[in-house]
Amino acid sequence: MKILGYVSDSDGLLDFIKDDIEEHTDNLIKALNDPSEEVREACALVVGMFSENVVPEFLEMHEKVMPVLLNMIKS
Amino acid sequence: MEVSTLSDVHGLNTAKAIFAMSEFIKNMEDTEIKPYLDEVVKILVVYITGEGQMKDCRYTALEALSNIVVAAQELILPYREDLINTLYEIVKNVDKNIQQIRGQALLGAGTLLQVGGKDDRMQTALEEFTKFALECLKEVDTDVVLRQTAISFFSEICKV
């Protein structure tokens, strides 16, 4: 997951992420609910990276992403 | 709403989750933020005001608040007075151990004041914020970031 975050920062590879953003978002959300705190921490970082680089496609996934982030913060 | 950080690791992870949400929201349109705004503000206020919370969580929550105010623009107006009062309570606490947090609260206040424009009900708070910002500028030993924060605050309130 973390690698994907760094890849999103690359102009050359960004389109590959944007093309499959729905699948990547679903995987990210699954990982945000991972029992391991380390995995959740890494995914939080990826959310930040995607939010900056994969726009507007990732932001359009807000109905999926926001509830999960809010849950993470409340738990 | 009760939230708590159970351990240092948990606290750091919570801070990262708040940071992730902050980054996500700051690039959203105000119409996209609208469904979440109420819950987001409530959660952030809990972390901002929780003196038992880790500094990282409080600081990140304050940073998130500034981002949300900028993104939400006029949608934040119903919350503005309460948020200003919350930030005022932080800034007037002269505990030097929380200078960074006070600075971030100052930045948030500047952003809120700029979005809503002048309001006589907030005059006392504005004076307290301005006083603290001037202290930050005058103190030679103050962290450079705090001085930059003070300059940003004045830049925001100039637009009011």
Contacts of A45 in chain B (CB under 8 A): 16, 20
pLDDT at A28: 92
pLDDT at B154 over 70: yes
First to last CA, chain A: 22
- Give the count of beta carbons closer than 10 Å to the beta carbon of residue A17: 20
Q: Is pTM, for the whole model, over 0.90? A: no
What residue ranges in chain A does DSSP mark as E strands? none
pLDDT at B34 over 90: yes
pLDDT at B5: 53
The answer to whether ipTM exceeds 0.90 is no
Cα Rg of chain A, angstroms: 12
Contacts of A72 in chain B (CB under 8 A): 14, 17, 20
pLDDT in tens, B85-133: 999 888 887 677 788 888 899 999 999 988 877 777 778 888 888 888 8
Q: Which of B31, B23, B104, B9 has its CA nearest to residue A69?
A: B23
> Which has more confidence, B65 or B147?
B65
CA torsion sign for B115, A48, B101, B82 is positive
- Do the Cβ atoms of B39 and A70 come within 8 Å? yes
pLDDT at B17 over 60: yes
pLDDT at B142: 59
Give long-range contacts, CB 8 A cutoff, 24+ apart: B153-158. Answer: B153/B106, B153/B107, B153/B109, B153/B110, B153/B129, B154/B110, B155/B110, B156/B110, B156/B111, B156/B113, B156/B114, B157/B110, B157/B113, B157/B114, B157/B126, B157/B130
Q: Which of A26, A66, A30 has its CA nearest to residue B34?
A: A66
How high is the mean pLDDT of chain B? 85
Contacts of B23 in chain A (CB under 8 A): 47-48, 51-52
pLDDT in tens, A48-68: 889 988 889 999 999 999 999
> Which has more confidence, B2 or A73?
A73
Question: What are the pLDDT tens digits along chain A (75 aa)?
Answer: 666 666 666 666 777 888 889 999 999 999 988 888 888 888 888 998 899 888 899 999 999 999 999 998 887
CA torsion sign for B102, B105, B111, B116 is negative
Nearest CA in chain B to A33: B17
First to last CA, chain B: 33
Helix (H/G/I), strand (E/B), else coil: B16: helix
Average pLDDT over residues B56-82: 92
Whether chain B has a CB inside 8 Å of the CB on A18: the answer is no
Angle, nearest 10°, between helix axes B55-72 and B8-26?
Answer: 10
Percentage with pLDDT > 70 across chain B: 89
Average pLDDT over residues B27-48: 92
Q: What one-letter code names the amino acid at B15?
A: A
Residue B51 is given by DSSP the state T
Do you find a cis peptide bond into A35, omega within 30 degrees of 0? no
